Amino acid sequence: MKRRHFLQTTAAATVLPTLLGGLPIGAYGFSPELFDITGGATQTDRVLVLIQLNGGNDGLNMIIPTDQYSALMNARADIAIPQAQVLPLSATTGIHPAMAGVKNLFDNGKIGVVQSVGYPNANYSHFRATDIWTSGSDSNVTITSGWAGRYLNGEYANYPTGYPSAANPDPLAISIGSVVSNCVQGPSVNMGMAIASTSSFYQLLSGGVDAAPNTPAGHELTFIRQVISQTQVYTTTIQAAAGRASNLSPLYPASGQNSLADQLKIVAQLVAGGLQTRIYVCNLGGFDTHSNQVPTTGSTTTGTHATLLGRISQALEAFQDDLRRLNVQDRVVGMTFSEFGRRIKANASKGTDHGAAAPLIVFGTSVNPILHGTNPVLPANAGVNDQVAMQFDFRAVYASLLKDWFRVPQTTLNALLPSTNSPFPYMPIIRPSVVNGTASAAATNVANFSVYPNPIRDRATVEFTSEGGHVQVLLYDNLGREVVRLLDRPMSRGLRQIPLDAAGLAAGSYHCQVQEGQRISTRLVVVE
C-alpha cells in the first residue's frame, strides 16, 4: 500500500500525540466543500459549537413545565424538583435549580430554548439514535455517511491531497475530547483527517510519541505512531493560535473538575487566538440515567442528573464570560443536543428510561433569546410508555442555524438534509437583527422583556425597559406576517408595560418583538 493511500484511507484513526489543556484534540481536515457549506466562501469568521450530551438527557428535569405540575408529580414524584425550587424562565416554564448560570444567561439574552426536539418515529437505541442525529437521516433510513462527508466525497474526490494550503491553512472542524464524528464520514472513506491527542501538550513541541511496549507488536505500534506524527498537518496552526490568546474568565472551575468547561476553555482560546475553524464539537457523558437519577434519600434537586446539569450551566456561563472578555463573543453560537430524551413517567429505580423528544439549548450573544415552542402536554396520569411529543424536527434546527449563521442556500440545505419531510420549517434561532446585519449581536438585547400571562386567553402585558427612544412593539404570526402593531412611538426611559388584546386573534403561536434603536428582542407567545 502506498503511503498516501494508507494515510487517506486511515485518516479517521490518525492521532496527534499531544494534549491541549490536558484534553485530546481531534481536527477534521479542511475541505473546500465543507468550507462552502458553512459560508467559508464569504470569508465568515463565525463559529458554531456543538455540545453532545451522551446518553439521553431527561428534558423534563431540565426545562420544566411549571403549568402542569400536578401531571408532572403524578408521573415522577420520586424524582421531580419541588415547584418552589424551580428557577422561572417564564410564567409557565422553569429550569432546574442547578442551572442558575444558564438562567442568568437567558435573562441577559444569551440563551434560547427549543422545546421538544426530536424526529418522527423515534428510535430508542443509543447507537441508532446517535447515527440519526449525526447523519441527519429519517428514522427508517440508514445513511452510513454524514452530511459533510457526502459533500466531500461527491465534490472533492481527491481529498485530502493538497490541503492545507496557503489560502486555507486551518482545520474547519475540531473535536475536543472525542473521536471523529460520523458527520464527516464519506461512502467509502472518512473525509476528515483526525488529529487526536493521546499524550501531553508538550510532545507537540518536541515531536515525540508515546512509548510502546518492547515487543513485536509494540515495535509495530511505535512505527504507526511515528507515521501518524508525520501527518499532523494542522499541528503548527493549532499551536500558534493557542499561543496567541489566554483565557481570561475567573469563572472556569479548576482543571479536571468539569470536563465540558475544560473543553470550552480550549475553544475560547483557539477562537480568540485567530484559528479560522468554523465548527467545534464537545461532549459530556453520563446522561443514561436509568437508576439513581436522584439520591435514594435527600433532596431531588441533587444527584447524578443535577450534577450533570450543573456542569453544563457552569461551563456555559464561564465560556460566555470568557468570550466577552476576549472580545469574540459575537462570533460564536452553539447548541446542545442528546440522542433522545427520557420517558414522562419515572421508573421504580429513581430513574427514567429512553424516551423521545427533549429540549435543547442554543447559546451566544447572537441567538434569539426566547422559548421556541410551548411546554409539552403531559397526560394527567402518564403510563410507562407515554412520551414527550415532538414539536420541532432536529433537522429544522440544523437547517435554520446553517441558513442564518453561515448563510447556506436553501437548495444546499435540501441536499444536505435529505428527508421525506424536507424542506424543514424555518426557525428564528438567530436574532433577526444579526441575520439582517442591522446590529451587532451584543447591542440587540432589550432589557427586562417579558410577555405575561403566556399562554394568553384574552389580554396580556408586554413589559420591557426603555432606554429612551423610538420603540416598536409588533406581533407576528408563524409565517412572519405582522398581525398587530402594539406600539410605534418615542418612549421615555424606564420600565414600560404595554397591553396586548388577544380577543380578536386566532388560537396559535405568535412572536412578539420589541425594537428600540439597534436593540431587539423576541418572545414566543401562545394564544389559547
What is the rounded CA–CA span in Å between residue 230 and residue 47?
Answer: 28
Give per-residue pLDDT as tens, 375-427.
999 999 999 999 999 999 999 998 898 889 878 788 888 888 889 888 888 99
Per-residue confidence at 146, pLDDT binned at 50, 70, 90? Answer: low
Per-residue confidence at 198, pLDDT binned at 50, 70, 90? Answer: very low
Give per-residue pLDDT as tens, 306-338.
999 999 999 999 999 999 999 899 999 999 999
What is the rounded CA–CA span in Å between residue 288 and residue 314?
Answer: 21
Nearest to 152 by CA among 186, 197, 102, 180: 186
What is the rounded CA–CA span in Å between residue 442 and residue 452?
Answer: 25
Give per-residue pLDDT as tens, 465-520.
998 989 999 888 755 577 899 999 999 999 999 999 998 899 887 878 888 876 77
Among 123-132, 182-191, 201-210, 504-513, whose mean pLDDT is lowest? 201-210
Give the distance between the most distant pair of CA atoms in the chain: 81
What is the rounded CA–CA span in Å between residue 438 and residue 104?
Answer: 26
What would the grid cell of residue 131 be? 447515527
pTM above 0.85, yes or no: no
Evaluate if residue 74 carries a pLDDT over 90.
yes
Specify the DSSP class assigned to residue 326: T
How many of the other CB atoms lie within 10 Å of CB of 466?
A: 20
For residues 325 and 269, the answer to whether their CB atoms sit within 8 Å is: no
For residues 505 and 483, the answer to whether their CB atoms sit within 8 Å is: yes
Structural domains of the chain in order of their starting residue, each with its CATH number: 3-445 (no CATH), 446-528 (2.60.40.1930)
Half-sphere exposure of 105 (CA within 13 A, CB side): 29
The per-residue pLDDT of the chain, averaged, comes to 80
What backbone torsions phi and psi does residue 412 show, to the nearest 5 degrees?
Answer: -70, -40
For residues 290 and 126, the answer to whether their CB atoms sit within 8 Å is: no
What was the pLDDT predicted at 316? Answer: 98
Nearest to 112 by CA among 414, 419, 370: 370
Greater model confidence, 446 or 122:
122
